[in-house]
Structure 1
Amino acid sequence: MFGFNEEQIAWFGLTIGVGAFMLYMIFIVAQLAWEAKAGKFGTFVLFLALAFGMVGFIAKGIIQWIIDK
């Protein structure tokens, strides 16, 4: 499709697509914290829980990059 093979499309979806989804999730959590009037500590806890998932995804990418070197 458009000159790309399946591997390139999958790479794009997993890196760019999931990265964009993570940015959207940050917006959702910020909106949730603001509407719920969570305060500083509540907002910190919400973002901390979100950050654990993001750190895992980023670590996976870094580990794959190191192994492929």
Structure 2
Amino acid sequence: MDPAVFEEWMMIILVGGLVAFMAFIVWDLAKKSKAGRYGTLVLFGALGLGVLGFVIKTLVIGSLEGI
């Protein structure tokens, strides 16, 4: 297997695992702090914006490399 392909797959898998772990941490934080539905939504919204930024960055870089 080419090292570049391996690095790409590991980046996807490990970042996905990190995001899932952060989602668990946010859920646990919301539960322990008794944030309620709105507070939990805000916490997950902030995490979602960070993940969305990472995905958009990846898509923009991929589209620029194709030009």
> In which range does the TM-score fall when normalised by the shorter chain?
0.7 to 0.9
The alignment's TM-score, normalised by the length of structure 1, stands at: 0.76
| 1:12-69 superposed Cα distances (whole Å, 9 cap, x missing partner) | 221111011101111110010001100011111111110111001222333455554x
The alignment's TM-score, normalised by the length of structure 2, stands at: 0.78
Segments of structure 1 that go 5 or more residues without pairing to the other structure are none
Partner of residue 35 from structure 1, selected from 32, 36, 56 = 32
Distance 1:49 1:16 in 2: 21
Segments of structure 2 that go 5 or more residues without pairing to the other structure are none
Structure 1 residue 7 corresponds to structure 2 residue 35: no
**CA RMSD, 1 decimal:** 1.7
Aligned to 1:20, the other structure's residue is in SS state helix
